[in-house]
Chains A and B, each alone.
Chain A
Amino acid sequence: DGGITQSPKYLFRKEGQNVTLSCEQNLNHDAMYWYRQDPGQGLRLIYYSQIVNDFQKGDIAEGYSVSREKKESFPLTVTSAQKNPTAFYLCASSWLASGGANIQYFGAGTRLSVL
């Protein structure tokens, strides 16, 4: 997990509530990513960012929002529009690399549940 800190480890959301998951890295990586993992499934990309103040949608961005105001931080907000938010959320970071050889370093994850 080293170098990437996700908080909180567990999070509970009430109906209609927005919640924000924190991700901080001290690896000086340019790129950061958010993935969602459902039980028994692989990871699906929500959003990613290559540079401060810029980010791109991944495969399942609906109902989520992000910001990248600092290189070290890439918080994810799960909005009330996300109707099935219960999942394990993983943040990752990497160097920018040509040819797609971006080895990613992951945080320990945040488990989000709906009350």
Chain B
Amino acid sequence: SQQGEEDPQALSIQEGENATMNCSYKTSINNLQWYRQNSGRGLVHLILIRSNEREKHSGRLRVTLDTSKKSSSLLITASRAADTASYFCATVSMVYSGGGADGLTFGKGTHLIIQP
């Protein structure tokens, strides 16, 4: 079963506006990651936030994590046409994250469209 669920499923905004996507997950996690996927392509890692962190920034990206609500949000500020893509949150359950390799569990993604 999928661990994370992104909301909304689709989002269309004007260039220059901010875009906010949310992710909810089910089990306790060690960290949460956000990835971007351009249409028909592989995924690109954007940012990782650990369970003991509440907020993290990377360029125009801001990620928050609320472990009590089992939720995270990704904010993209000053959006650009090139930000058009699907965005996925991904987690590793603490049950499995004992070190080494762990497959990520992905949500279904938010499809973001930036209108020029």
Please measure, in the bound complex, the distance between the C-alpha atom of A107 and the C-alpha atom of B60, giving whole angstroms.
25
Does A64 belong to the interface (CB within 8 Å)?
no
Q: Are A106 and B30 in contact (CB under 8 A)?
A: no
Among B31, B41, B103, B109, the one with the most A-chain Cβ atoms within 10 Å of its Cβ is B103
Q: How large is the interface on B (under 10, 10 to 19, 20 to 34, 35 or more residues)?
A: 20 to 34
Task: Fill in one digit per residue for A100-115: 1 if any B CB lies within 8 Å of its CB, else 0.
Answer: 1111111111010000
Does B40 belong to the interface (CB within 8 Å)?
yes
Does A81 belong to the interface (CB within 8 Å)?
no
Does B100 belong to the interface (CB within 8 Å)?
yes
Please measure, in the bound complex, the distance between the C-alpha atom of A93 and the C-alpha atom of B25, giving whole angstroms.
23
Cβ-closest chain A residue relative to B29: A100
Does A49 belong to the interface (CB within 8 Å)?
yes
Please measure, in the bound complex, the distance between the C-alpha atom of A106 and the C-alpha atom of B105, giving whole angstroms.
15
Please measure, in the bound complex, the distance between the C-alpha atom of A105 and the C-alpha atom of B42, giving whole angstroms.
9
Q: How large is the interface on A (under 10, 10 to 19, 20 to 34, 35 or more residues)?
A: 35 or more
Q: Which residues of B contact A49 (CB under 8 A)?
A: 101
A-B contact count (CB 8 A): 90
Q: Are B45 and A105 in contact (CB under 8 A)?
A: yes
Q: Are B101 and A101 in contact (CB under 8 A)?
A: no
Q: Are A108 and B105 in contact (CB under 8 A)?
A: no
Q: With A104-B45, A108-B41, A109-B41 in contact, do A42 and B100 touch (Cβ < 8 Å)?
A: no
Q: Are A30 and B30 in contact (CB under 8 A)?
A: no
8 A Cβ contacts from A30-56 to B: 30-31, 33, 35, 40-45, 48-50
Q: Which residues of B contact A1 (CB under 8 A)?
A: 41-42
Q: Are B40 and A109 in contact (CB under 8 A)?
A: yes
Does A99 belong to the interface (CB within 8 Å)?
yes
Say how far B108's CB is from chain A's closest CB, in angstroms: 5
Q: Which residues of B contact A45 (CB under 8 A)?
A: 103-105
Q: Are B108 and A41 in contact (CB under 8 A)?
A: yes
Q: With A1-B41, A1-B42, A106-B44 in contact, do A42 and B107 touch (Cβ < 8 Å)?
A: yes
- A44-B106, A48-B101 are known; give 4 further A-B pairs, CB within 8 A: A31-B100, A45-B103, A100-B92, A102-B104
List 4 A-B pairs, minimum CB-CB distance, nearest first: A100-B97, A31-B101, A106-B42, A42-B106
